[in-house]
Amino acid sequence: MINSFVHKIKLTFGDAEIRTRVLFVVGALVLFRFLATIPIPGVDKNALASFFASNQFFGLMNVFSGGGLSHLSIVMLGVGPYITASIVMQLATIVFPQVKQAYFENGEAGRAQFIEWSRLLTIPIAVLQAIGFLFLLESQSVIGHLGTLALVGDIAIVTAGSLLLMWLGELVTEFGIGNGVSLIILAGILARVPSSISQTIFASSVANIPAYLAFTALAGLMIYAVVVVSDAERSIPIAYARAVRGAALSQGAATYLPIRLLQAGVIPIIFALSLLLVPQMALSMLSAIHVSFAAGASLWYTAFLSNPWQYGAVYFLLVVLFTYFYTAVTFEPHRVAENLQKTGAFVPGVRPGRETEEYIGHVVNRITLPGACFLGLLAVSPSIIQGLTGVTTLVLGGTALLIAVQVILDLAHKIDAQVSLREY
């Protein structure tokens, strides 16, 4: 196994095209990390650190910003607006028949139009998020009072930073290896690890050693569970009818239909975070224009988000509900059953058509429950681990871990595919 791994590494860096792609990815991520260190004007670093230390929810938002939010950098929104725009467009394929037709029936041109609409939708989403975050940070004294000109300037800077990362991610997808947006998020997650470890080492004492050992064991179990669950699937056997061609009778082939346990990926977590964030941003903007009830409601909601048990319970339920919702929206048993019937395929022991649709729907609903509960536990795992080990300086975020494992596995598979292509 070691020899095979070394051989793959040699082939990866020995091939000029693969080496160029890998170096392009590295260069793009270095540029992103440089941009993430440039703060917007007027940031109080002490107030910013205190704000993130007391609010775990915005620590999760920092994951999807690629680490830029914790520094209030010019790319503080990260690729979040683009991800949100892509999700909205996916939902639009269900609500609006025209969008569905453009995406599914117009081939490559339809997909290109779909991507273009996602880019355009990213702009207003980024502007609204920038306004909400700036008002919120101003209300928490993280940044000073912003006049009209300064506010417009900061909104323009933050929006442009998000669009720049969107463009950079698409360049990485086209000229590098892997999904550029996912790699940007991964770079932000990995960039936080050294500082977190160093804080833990300097703050540690002999009495805390058992807690750190327990934390290490829990981290190992979580990594193992994420790797296993990420690749877990339920295979539905599929057979093809025998075909008669002239006087010859050909044997029908047999295959299977894979149904992934994590059918929705991390999308339900993004949905839940967005839903929890919207009231905070709306109340902050209303407070800024001196709406009477908004100030008290904003303080109450901030206290709610700061309470790990209340916020964790609501967060878990939202992730489970959105997992079912997104799976129902994106996976259509009717379409799958129809395609199987058109190609002469069937599930052994199940009649084609409506019975096949009901069978596939039953299987999807049954495996969605453990997948949804697993996603919910990952989402609230930081609170659970803090309660069990007492370790607060080194928190293993389940959401960040899930993203990191899935992106690394996907990147490894794509590099392996490129190497195998060169070998044969």
* C-alpha distances in Å from residue 68, one per residue of 2, 32, 110, 212: 37, 9, 33, 28
Q: Is 255 inside a domain boundary? A: yes
Q: Which residue has the tokens 């007492």?
A: 390
CA distances for 381 relative to 133, 190, 238, 413, angstroms: 25, 18, 38, 28
Please say if the pLDDT value at position 154 is more than 80: yes
Residue 415 has pLDDT above 70, yes or no: yes
Number of domains, the chain: 2
- Enter the pTM of the model: 0.74
Q: Domain range spanning residue 322?
A: 204-412
Give the mean pLDDT of 117-130: 89
Are residue 168 and residue 214 in the same domain, yes or no? no
What digits encode the pLDDT tens for the residues 259-291?
888 887 777 877 787 777 777 767 766 776 677
Tokens representing 75?
């790319």
66/33 Cα distance (integer angstroms): 9
Same domain, 311 and 344: yes
What CA–CA distances, in Å, run from 372 to 57, 58, 269? 20, 22, 10
Dump pLDDT digits (tens) for 48-71. Answer: 777 766 665 666 667 666 667 777
Task: Please name the amino acid found at residue 238.
Answer: I
What's the CATH number where 324 sits? 1.10.3370.10
Domain end point (choices 201, 218, 237): 201
201, 230, 253: which is the final residue of a domain?
Answer: 201
Residue 10 vs residue 387, higher pLDDT: 10
Is residue 154 located within the same domain as residue 52?
yes
Q: Clarify whether residues 223 and 298 are in a common domain.
A: yes
What is the per-residue pLDDT for 357?
A: 87
Q: Indicate if 138 and 224 belong to the same structural domain.
A: no
Model confidence over 188-205: pLDDT tens digits? 877 777 666 666 666 555
Residues 6+ away with beta carbon under 8 Å from 154: 40, 41, 130, 134, 146
Looking at residue 249, what is its pLDDT?
A: 44
